[in-house]
Amino acid sequence: MERIDRDKLPKHIAIIMDGNGRWATKNSMNRVLGHRKGAEAVRAVVKTCRKLGIKYLTLYAFSVENWLRPKEEVRALTALLKNYLEEELNEMMDNNIRLMAIGDIDALAGGVKTTLCEAIEKTSGNQGMCLNLALSYGGRDEIVDGVKKIARDIRSGTIKEDTITKDMFSQYLYFPEMPDPDLLIRTSGEYRLSNFLIWQLAYTELYFTDVLWPDFSREHLLEAIADYQRRERRFGMTSEQLSKD
């Protein structure tokens, strides 16, 4: 098993959980069963991150583009989400996990939206780890929404144009207090971001694996973290500069 350095843990891990459909096809099943199996992988990963002491875990559960999928699949994903939230709420409370969501939450069906908002509210005081679900999320939409909010604040006189900076812009995104991800994992052998956190991933370490999401286990996660820990994050500087600190 991979050895993890507890002093060099990523503070924020973001995951593009991809490959449920292909997992189902490979196992001669309906796509929905792939998503169901994917939800089990979510449980294991949340548990492992919490145990390790990861502070933020953001999971890409449904993109704004995923609305284009067949209606039955969207319906099944919504039902699975509701089920997951209902079943995991006690677990989140017991483990001091705060639930958050980023994306166009209002676009979600009424029932699941209520369950989600209740779980967010109920867990809002928990500080062990933040489990952040990207739901009906699009990175470009998030940026455009931020620009609109800034325009509104300029118009009302709350802020002036020349006070806009990168840090200030981040405060206009969906979850301002969330630090940028240190590590991004994408499963299923796809090498793209699919409109995920495109502002926040500017300096994130990227990790791609061929493993399909339903097969992604605790060991795979530890392997990804170990790989991250072997990297040198230079942020534009030279190796020599970094070793001086």
Report the residue number, 84 or 172, with the smaller CB distance to ligand IPE.
Answer: 84
Q: To the nearest whole angstrom, how small is the minimum distance from the Cβ of residue 135 to ligand IPE?
A: 9
Round to whole Å and give the CA distance between 163 and 161: 5
Coil vs helix vs strand at 134:
strand
Report the residue number, 78 or 126, with the smaller CB distance to ligand IPE.
Answer: 78
Of 9, 13, 14, 17, the one binding ligand IPE by CB under 6 A: 17
Active site residue 18: yes
Of 9, 15, 16, 18, the one binding Mg ion by CB under 5 A: 18
Active-site residue, from 66, 95, 126, 195: 66
User: 42 near 59, Cβ under 8 Å?
Assistant: yes
Residue nearest to ligand IPE (CB): 21
DSSP codes, 35-92: HHHHHHHHHHHHHHHHHHT-SEEEEEEEEGGGGGS-HHHHHHHHHHHHHHHHHHHHHH
The verdict on 196 binding Mg ion (CB under 5 A) reads no
Active-site residue, from 5, 7, 18, 20: 18
DSSP codes, 193-211: -TTSSTTTTTTPEEEE--S
Coil vs helix vs strand at 10:
coil
Round to whole Å and give the CA distance between 184 and 172: 22
Active site residue 95: no
Round to whole Å and give the CA distance between 181 and 198: 11
Contact letters (x/-) for ligand IPE, 184-223, by CB under 6 A?
A: ----x-x-x-x------------------x----------
Of 21, 138, 146, 181, the one binding ligand IPE by CB under 6 A: 21
Binding site for Mg ion (CB under 5 A): 18
